[in-house]
Amino acid sequence: MELYDGPLDTKEIFGRWLDEQADSNYGAYIPFVGTIRAEGDIEALSFDIYEPVLQKWFDAWQEKAKALGAVVKMAHAKGDVPVHTSSYISAVFSPRRRVALELIDEFVEDFKANAPIWKYDVKNGERIYAADRSTPMDGSGLLA
């Protein structure tokens, strides 16, 4: 898991991941890139991350992938990420494509639902919490 201040250098990261696994004999490598779209007059999106819980979430996914003979990778941005740049990338390596295709789907969807990351629109230099696009994590409402 890699965290960066500001936008991701997607080509460097994907290239490095590919090099790292060059001799691992995986038959499939499926990358996913999340790019900030220009919408609603935003200049950028901005992110807060709670790293200790994110690391545990990611470690659990690594274990799940390992049991399938696969590897998951991810990188995410902290702070402001301008439109048309990347805030999130992930990838799955696996011996065969079917496992990789299914795993990238589950991994990205669970990431959206349970990774402790908070998103803000940046408009006129102000951060506004993206409440309407955010999802309560599993187990929410315990203290209500």
Chain residues that interact with another protein, rule: CB under 8 A: 34, 47-50, 52-53, 56, 76, 87-88, 108, 111-120, 129-131, 133-144
Paired tokens of 52: 């200790």
Are 28 and 103 contacting, i.e. CB atoms less than 8 angstroms apart? no
Output 46 or 94, the one with its CB closest to another protein.
46
3-state secondary structure of 68: coil
Output 38 or 97, the one with its CB closest to another protein.
38
Min dist. Cβ of residue 135 to another protein (A): 5
State the Cα–Cα distance between residues 12 and 1, nearest whole angstrom: 15
What's the distance, Cα to Cα, between the start and end of the chain in Å?
A: 33
Min dist. Cβ of residue 96 to another protein (A): 26
Output 20 or 129, the one with its CB closest to another protein.
129
Min dist. Cβ of residue 41 to another protein (A): 19
Sequential DSSP letters for 62-85 = HHHHHHTT-EEEEEEEEEEEETTS
Min dist. Cβ of residue 112 to another protein (A): 6
